[in-house]
Amino acid sequence: MATAALQTDHELMLAVRDGELAALGELFERHHGPLYGYLAKHTGDRLAAEDIVQTVFQRMLKYRHTYRDDGAFTAWMYHLARRCAADYFRKHHAAPVATDPTDLQAYADARPHAGDQAGASDDRAFLHSALNRLDRDDREILLLSRFQELSFAEIAGILECSVGAAKVRAHRALRELRDIYFQLQGEKLT
């Protein structure tokens, strides 16, 4: 599979569609990290995020025949991921997940000088809480636009809306996040 590294995502997925299933390994290596990062922040649950990534790649195999010649692989992958995440939220009563205290501990531990950087660590914890309190759609568009290196045209394709609507939603989500974030910080000070 030495040539796989030189192939585009689209070429690899076409190969998978045509029966060369091993090509999915290269696609997994390229995309599972960012996809996991997106789902971990979206669900607030690391184990669930791993399960969803696994399901996404399973569905890629299952529905490989539906991949189109003119398809954009990343948009298709996130399309599948959204559906899998929606299934997850449906099963888990759609409630936003509270920040996992062990995660906060992990961020604190990762810092070499905890004393100096306690404030920054608090900020991250507040931001995590604010993200989890956001409406699910708002959180989704923020994560797609900030962490996945996707253009608004690609995001619009994934969310099935116009580019203008995607921009407006991202802007509104950022304002919402800012309001919750500063509210949490204010609560800490009072």
Partner 1 sequence: MNCIQARDRFAELLDQRLDGPVSGEVRLHLAACPDCQRDFVSLRDTLAQLDALPAAKPGPRLRANFYAMLEDEQRSAAAPARASAPSRRHTPRWRWILSPLAACGLLALSFVAGQRSAPVATPVTVPVDAATQHELADLRKKVDSMGQLVGYSLLQRQPANERLKGILATQDLAAPGDRVLTQLISALALDPSTNVRLSALEALYPYADQEVVRAGVLASLTREQSPLVQVSMIDFLVAARDREAAPTLQQLVRADKVDRSVRDAAKRALVQL
Residues near partner 1 (CB under 8 A) are 19, 21-22, 24-25, 28, 32-34, 36-37, 40-41, 46, 49-50, 53-54, 57-58, 61, 107, 109-110, 123-124, 127-128, 131, 142, 146-147, 167, 170-171, 174-175, 177-178, 181-182
- Please classify residue 142 by burial: count the beta carbons closer than 10 Å to its beta carbon, then call 0-12 exposed, 13-18 middle and 19+ buried: buried
Our CB check for partner 1 shows the closer of 70 and 135 to be 135
Residue 155, classed as helix, strand or coil, is helix
Q: What minimum distance in Å lies between the beta carbon of 61 and partner 1?
A: 5
Amino acid in the structure at residue 119: G
Our CB check for partner 1 shows the closer of 92 and 175 to be 175
Our CB check for partner 1 shows the closer of 70 and 123 to be 123
Q: What minimum distance in Å lies between the beta carbon of 70 and partner 1?
A: 25
Our CB check for partner 1 shows the closer of 70 and 118 to be 118
Alpha carbon distance 78, 69 (integer Å): 17
Residue 86, Cα to own-chain centre: how many angstroms? 13
Nearest to 107 by CA among 47, 175, 41: 41
